[in-house]
Amino acid sequence: MKKYILILPVLMLFFLMACDDDTTCVYEEPDNKAVLMEQAGEIFEAIARNPETYDRQVEITSGLYSNISELLPISDKAIQQRGEARGKAFGSLIYAVARNPYAYEKLDSAAIIFFGAYNEEIISKEMEDITVAYAIPDLNTAIARNPGVDSLLNVVCKKYLNFEFITNK
């Protein structure tokens, strides 16, 4: 009984710490579409490790959702969570390209299936900014890992994130 009496105040303290001054909780319920995108992003590492398993990886990941159209619209709500999930997934793609540039065609194909190329009609400016912010750390790591593929990474960034880090002047 003493354990329960001690646990209750600790739990209440954690709850109070999760609320702001207006007593509205800042904890957000996980967004299902964001969770699905984040999980689907794991396919890129698997393909980079073993491109021969591409068909099987796509089949397995299709258990989450078969293509990006199933998640539309994605800029309608939970923009922070979905942008973060997309950014992490594209960061995974970027790092996978640096790890195994020879698997680029398969990685690109998987990205088209599960995330689609950048399209301003379905990706709001706010979501685009959040996505890029979460992908940048992996871009930096990827360039450090394999600087010889920076032009290929630039193509990936332009196609999926709508920005280029190499510009022709």
Query: How do residues 5-54 score in pLDDT, each as one tens digit?
Result: 556 555 555 555 555 555 455 556 889 999 999 999 999 999 999 999 99
The pTM for the full model equals 0.81
Whole domain around residue 49: which residue ranges?
32-161
Q: Provide the 10 A C-beta neighbour count for residue 160.
A: 24
State how far the Cα of 168 lies from the Cα of 61, in Å rounded to an integer: 37
Is 24 within the bounds of a domain? no
What pLDDT sits at residue 4? 47
Q: Based on the structure, what is the number of domains in the chain? A: 1
Is 11 within the bounds of a domain? no
CA distances from residue 109 to 47, 93, 103, 137 in whole angstroms, order as listed:
11, 11, 10, 23
Residue type, 119: N
Is 4 within the bounds of a domain? no
